[in-house]
Chain A
Amino acid sequence: MINEKTAPALNIKDLCVAYQQEGEWWEAVHEVSLQIQPGEIYGLVGESGSGKTTLALAVLRYLGKNGMIRQGKIELSGVDLVQLQPAEMRKLWGHQMALIPQNPQSSLNPAMRVGDQIAEVYRHTQDMETGEARHKAVEMLREVNIPDPGRVTLSYPHQLSGGMQQRVLIAMALSSNPSLLILDEPTTNLDVTTQATILDLLRSLIEQRQTAALYITHNLAVVAQMCRRAGVLYAGRLVEEAFINELFARPLHPYTQGLLESMPRLGDHKDSVRLRAIEGRAPVFGDIPSGCVFRPRCPIANEICETNPPLSVLPEGRKVRCHRWEVSLNEAGRSHLPDGRSDRNTTEKHQLQPLLSLEGVSVHYPLKRSLREVVRREPKRAVRAVEGMDLKILSGQTLGLVGESGSGKSTLARATLGVVDKTAGTIELLGIQLPDKLSRRTLDTLRKVQSVFQNPEEALNPYLTVGEILQRPMMTLLGWSRQEAIGRVPDLLRAVRLPAMYAERLPTQLSGGEKQRVAIARASAAKPNLLICDEPVSALDVSVQASILNLLEDLQAEHGNSLLFISHDMAVVGFLADTIAVIYLGELVEIAETGDLFKSPYHPYTEALLSAIPGTKVESRRVAAPLVGEIPSPIEKPGGCPFHSRCPRLVGEICKRQPPPWQSQQGSSKRYLCHIPWEELQAQQGDIQGFEISRG
């Protein structure tokens, strides 16, 4: 199908791209060469700042005023784009090459109907009549599986969901059948279930049209699912390139190995696996190390690495830029822990005291009624973010909360913290009912429940030093004097693996991962009983995530605090949590101890979440329909089962009418909310496949 002998559709040779920052030029992409054949999807993997987006924009010749191609060639079907004038490039855009960008919402013109935005491509670049162009636009939307495309052409972007917007952009990019498609993290901002459908769509479209595609992402699992070959970019250098199977089975570069081993895979658990984090931070502009760029973070670097490593070309189309790849190959592999490493598991669960218990907690945000509603005396409506939630967290245990965006998981955390008022239910901490308002909670209650937020960039006051930030909780919550608090700061920094001199620094001088460590140190400074972590690693690069997860685990082992860990990432939750709760539209749909959660039967929504993870599939004995649509609005929640509008295993009318019962069975800690009984559901579902991709 893909012939290596034919001329490549895209041929990048020794490309160097520089950016100007405060008057100086910094090289963001350095001597990158790669080829992509027609019909091939080439994955380019890199973390933030690796230069992957710069490379994409350079290929499109869309660098802007402060970017410049220093040297090299970019040949598209034999034409060197570097030599072309801007006006000539404009003729290639759309026709020969197209981009599918990361943020669908901002990539569409908010003031223009979606249909017009597609039709204008035909009108202005192919001189088509308005009517005909409109007709073509509808056709394109149909091709990207948009239901009722005629109606969608008349919509404005804000009326469409993120997944739909991305489909529109895909339709737009493919409208003039380009020979090269550049995809820049096209599914990064989408929910897992939406991502899965978009990826399927992209794959089949690219295959059909025999387009060459450059797929840029930080997500290795996506690359594994989508691409035939992939390159790994680090600090602007292509450090490794291989066919996908090879890359995942035998990564040669220490950085690639680090990336693969730093993220937990589905089924990994902290009791049996220790994540291997890549130490240090990625180089930034103006601070690129000499010799091998990865040297400062590389576990096997020695003197030879102070010289520039050559690009070794190996058999089977492999390339690696490392002096010591032969050594690194032997050192690869993650550390498995001996069984029963943790004492925590020796205590029987039922002996543990519940630390926090939520009973029937609901959080509704009332909506302002429109004039029409007031006139017609319609009932007041509310966003029902959390509905009737019952949960318990045991002392020293970790409860994982999984759900997609809009599932209400953050609201639940905020209600527990006291920053959002609950509408109904009770929250008890060690048997004592917590007041709703933060201002009515005692200092001791505040001390007991602390939080780490999602976005490390906003977690720390940019105008206070790290030392000042860390002193405060000890002064306010423990009542210590400033002197006492200052004395403890080095210990706190040490506990989060930061040097004591960081106390003098301002947050702007820290990397994202370091900021999150400081945030964790602050939250644990007053020794809380419960630490609530809302997506603490989702804003961080893959290589940094592992060290934060390890840190949370270590702190818990040391202090014995409980953890409420919220994430959309099933593998991350599975790694850290003792018990996992799956929530959908503000309601608990399934809860189980981690080991049991990954055994069938699964709630159909859990099944969908698991199947949506790139590279995994839930074995289906009775084939389920694909998951349709997106999460409905929590304002007009469907009656009956909350999941019925999207459920692939819908039984029938009963799902729409009757709230489902809890299903459970002796011998399993699992409970799920569904009309399908245990045995019947188990007969339809099987094990999770790809559970341990390429482990060992």
Chain B
Amino acid sequence: MLGYSLRRLGFLLLTVLLTSVIIFSVTQWLPGDVCRIILGREAGEKALDACRQDLGLEAPLPVQYLRWLADFSGGDWGQSFSTRTDIFPLVMQRLLNSLRLAVLTLLISVPLAVGLGVLAGLNEGKLVDNLISIGSLSVVGLPEFVTGILLIQLFSFELRRWGLPSLPANSSIRPEAGFVESLPSLILPAITATLVLLAYIARLTRSGVLEEMKQSYVRTADLKGLPRHIVVVRHILPNALLPTITVIAISFGWLISGLVVIENVFNYPGLGRLLVFAIDRRDLPLMQAVALVTVVGFALANLVADLVYALLNPRIRYTEGN
């Protein structure tokens, strides 16, 4: 198990490293001279040269990459071109916001989705199953920006129009706001994200349950004379829910930065919006920082999933060597 964990960790580092190379080289192709972007059109040749010297742009690319990576690992993420402020605190603030939204979304969606998926799987072909299946297929088809706008219309404008307590349409929150204070702003974005995840996780859970119910060991458990609920809880579910863990982890990674659209709809200050902002301004260091933070978050989520999966799966936990 220790060997397995270390191997997964090594694998994670390798992936992050490779991705960082991709991010670095991709951002090198950015058209235009970085210094010209920073200093503007009127900058003289001398100022430009000084700037290039300053940023180390004269060095060969591999050296630049290593320098960048070293700075980055050391917490020196440089300054944003557009805001002229340190990137590190900015990204961390946004990361925190993203994490809040991600955690709340998972808290709502996972129990709900797993519950629905199990319910549908255990009642295959019956009315409940068909309703859940068609419902989830339809919800999956709704783009986040459509559901988000609809939810705002419904829970913000319509409720307010009728003089009822409503939720804020704009979810921009004060940077120093605590979790409780920001909660009302989080609810609508979280529901929108839930709708996206719900169907996805529920469908995978359902097929996991169906897959396991076909296995011979379920027949063995039935024919031992165990009550049906014991068969479901002790035999089917532990095996059926294993793959769901991986899915939840991937979802978590997606929630950290894949929420670009939702954050935009609700004006929520998460990492995704920061990225769109950076792209809009061609803010190279900021783009790199957000991308790398996302990759690390994504990879960490996968690592945790792998480890939890291994911990719950004796076939991995108790296989020596492998």
Contact = CB atoms under 8 A, between A and B. Distances in A.
A485 B6 CA distance: 57
Contacts of A106: 215-217
B306 interface: no
A346 interface: no
Interface string A115-134: 00000110011000000000
A101 B227 CA distance: 20
Interface in A362-393: 367-368, 370-373
Contacts of A94: 223-226
A112 B231 CA distance: 12
Interface stretch (A85-93, A304-312, A494-502): A85-93
A172 interface: yes
Interface stretch (B162-170, B194-202, B232-240): B232-240
B2 to A, nearest CB: 8
A121 B231 CA distance: 11
Nearest to A94: B225
B225 A93 contact: yes
A110 B321 CA distance: 19
Contacts of B7: 371
A372 B216 CA distance: 36
B217 A370 contact: no
A98 interface: yes
B223 A60 contact: yes
Given A112-B234, A371-B6, A372-B3, A107 B224 contact: no
A110 B220 contact: no
Contact of A156 (B227, B228, B230, B318): B318
B321 A367 contact: yes
Contacts of A158: 314-315, 318-319
B219 interface: yes
Interface in A118-174: 120-121, 124-125, 156, 158-159, 169, 172
A120 B242 CA distance: 22
Nearest to B124: A65
A111 B228 contact: no
Contacts of B6: 371
Given A125-B225, A169-B220, A371-B6, A111 B230 contact: no
Given A109-B235, A109-B239, A112-B234, A176 B225 contact: yes
Interface string B1-23: 00100110000000000000000
B313 interface: yes
| Chain B CB within 10 Å, residue with most, of A60, A109, A113, A156 | A109
A65 B123 CA distance: 12
B223 A110 contact: no
A120 B219 contact: no
Contacts of A99: 219-220, 223
A33 interface: no
Given A62-B223, A94-B224, A107 B238 contact: no
A98 B223 CA distance: 7
Interface string B266-289: 000000000000000000000000
A372 B319 CA distance: 14
Interface in B277-322: 312-315, 318-322
Contacts of A62: 219, 222-223
Contacts of A101: 216, 219-220
B234 A107 contact: no
Nearest to B215: A106
B230 A124 contact: yes
A656 interface: no
Given A121-B225, A125-B226, A107 B313 contact: no
B216 A125 contact: no
Contacts of A90: 222, 225, 227-228
B191 interface: no
Contacts of A112: 234-235, 238
B216 A103 contact: yes
A420 interface: no
B221 interface: yes
A124 B3 contact: no
A175 B225 CA distance: 11
A108 B318 CA distance: 16
Contacts of B315: 110-111, 156, 158
Contacts of B226: 94, 120-121, 124-125
Contact of A370 (B224, B230, B321): B321
Contacts of A113: 314
A120 B321 contact: no
A370 B242 CA distance: 25
B33 to A, nearest CB: 46
B321 A109 contact: no
A128 to B, nearest CB: 13
A95 B225 contact: yes
Given A101-B219, A156-B314, A120 B239 contact: no
Contacts of B215: 106
Contacts of B3: 370-372
Given A108-B217, A111-B312, A93 B223 contact: yes
Interface in B187-207: none
B221 A109 contact: yes
Contact of A107 (B217, B225, B318): B217
Interface in A274-325: none
A93 B318 CA distance: 32
A107 B216 CA distance: 5
Contact of A91 (B219, B225, B314): B225
A109 B223 contact: no
Nearest to B238: A111
Contacts of B224: 93-94, 98, 120-121, 125, 172, 175
A245 B33 CA distance: 95
Contacts of B219: 62, 99, 101, 107
A62 B223 CA distance: 9
A65 B235 CA distance: 20
B43 to A, nearest CB: 53
A169 B221 CA distance: 11
Contacts of A107: 216-217, 219-220
A156 B222 CA distance: 19
Contacts of A367: 321
A68 to B, nearest CB: 16
Contacts of B223: 60, 62, 93-94, 97-99
Nearest to A367: B321
A134 to B, nearest CB: 16
Nearest to A86: B228
| Chain B CB within 10 Å, residue with most, of A103, A107, A121 | A107
Contacts of A110: 217, 239, 314-315
Contacts of B220: 99, 101, 107-109, 169, 172
Contact of B314 (A93, A111, A172): A111
Contacts of A120: 224, 226, 230, 234
Nearest to A374: B3
A94 B222 CA distance: 9
A92 B239 contact: no
A155 B220 CA distance: 18
Interface string B98-127: 000000000000000000000000000100
A688 B321 CA distance: 44
Contacts of B125: 65
29 contacts: A62-B219, A90-B222, A90-B227, A93-B223, A93-B224, A93-B225, A95-B225, A98-B223, A99-B223, A107-B217, A107-B219, A109-B220, A109-B221, A111-B238, A111-B239, A111-B315, A113-B314, A120-B226, A121-B226, A124-B226, A158-B314, A158-B315, A158-B319, A159-B318, A172-B224, A368-B321, A370-B322, A371-B6, A371-B7
What 4 A-B pairs are tightest by C-beta distance, nearest first?
A94-B225, A93-B225, A156-B314, A107-B216
Given A90-B225, A106-B215, 15 more contacts: A92-B225, A99-B223, A107-B220, A109-B221, A109-B235, A111-B312, A112-B234, A120-B234, A125-B226, A156-B318, A158-B314, A158-B319, A175-B224, A367-B321, A372-B3
